[in-house]
Amino acid sequence: MTPVELPYAPVDSLIREAAPEMRVSSGAAEELASRIQDEGASLAVDAAERAAADGRKTIRATDFGFEARDVTKDCLILPVAPVDRIARLRLDDYRVRKEARLALTVHLEDWATGVAESAARLAEHAGRRTVQGEDVEAYFDICGNR
């Protein structure tokens, strides 16, 4: 298994922001960080295919196929540099433009926030006040990868 590039602390913060009344186990942050990495790497492979179809070795924001909010990296919880590494995990010889890294980070943060909110609801349903790794896993068991 590929080591997780994303630090757990910002993922923990993201879960806490999505579920402010809940506690967060380290397992939840680790599981969500791993899922964010998988999602980001998969999205980058799809984007690279679009870039290759246009004869490019540089991924642009438009290659991801989603609109990014207009934000700066200072407004984000997830750090952009590890997301850049995540984007290139399954790619050889591709560059990722700055605006593409930012767009991917924004998208992954929004996506992970939705997962965190759902995992918190699952923890509450189980009668717990702590979001655990099993809640994140249960979300994906129920909803699939996307």
Q: Report d(CA 17, CA 29) in Å as an integer.
A: 13
Give me the pLDDT at residue 144, please: 85
pLDDT at 71: 77
Strand partners for 131: 24
At residue 133, the pLDDT reads 97
Which helix (H) or strand (E) segment holds residue 54: the answer is none
The confidence score (pLDDT) of residue 143 equals 92
Q: How far apart are the first and last CA of the chain?
A: 21
Answer for the pair 37, 89: CB distance below 8 angstroms, yes or no.
yes
Give the right CATH number for 8-143 from 3.40.50.300, 2.60.120.10, 1.10.20.10, 3.20.20.70.
Answer: 1.10.20.10
Domain ranges of the chain: 8-143
Residue 82: which residues within 8 A CB-CB, separation 6 or more?
5, 6, 7
Per residue of the chain (146 residues), give pLDDT as tens.
Answer: 567 789 999 999 999 999 999 999 999 999 999 999 999 999 999 999 999 999 999 999 999 998 767 777 789 999 999 999 999 999 989 999 999 999 999 999 999 999 999 999 999 999 999 999 999 999 999 998 76
